[in-house]
């Protein structure tokens, strides 16, 4: 949401509303699967172009890139 606000300010887009709802569901299986649902409500008064700019800023933000990519974990057990 911060990315959308920064893009809106940079592009001189007036936001009257910015409501984001995030839900997730974890399904056990092989492999486990996590689904994330994001609902963005920007209210009325934006042009289609402005909506697309702000939607893409949310969809292409760094957090989305991190969560949409592959994960790998590296553990190291240390005793001192």
* Domain of residue 21, CATH code: 3.30.300.20
Assess contact for 2 and 10: CB atoms under 8 A.
Answer: no
What is the distance between the alpha carbons of residues 46 and 28, in angstroms, rounded to a whole number? Answer: 40
Residue 38 phi, psi dihedral angles, 5° rounding: -120, 125
- Tokens standing for 17? 């509303």
pLDDT tens sequence for the chain (80 residues):
568 888 999 999 998 888 889 899 999 888 888 888 989 999 999 999 999 999 999 888 877 777 787 888 899 999 98
Whether 77 is covered by a domain: the verdict is no
Give the Å distances, CA to CA, from 14 to 9, 17, 26, 69. Answer: 8, 9, 36, 32
Residue 35 domain boundaries: 2-67
Number of domains, the chain: 1
User: Chain-centre distance of CA 20, in angstroms?
Assistant: 9
């Amino acid at each position: 949401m911060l990315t959308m606000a920064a893009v809106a300010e940079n592009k001189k887009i007036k936001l009257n509303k910015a409501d984001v709802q995030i839900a997730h569901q974890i399904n056990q299986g092989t492999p486990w699967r996590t689904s994330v649902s994001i609902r963005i409500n920007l209210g009325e008064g934006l042009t289609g172009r402005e909506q697309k700019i702000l939607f893409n800023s949310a969809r292409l933000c760094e957090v989305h890139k991190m969560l949409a990519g592959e994960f790998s974990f590296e553990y190291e057990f240390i005793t001192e």
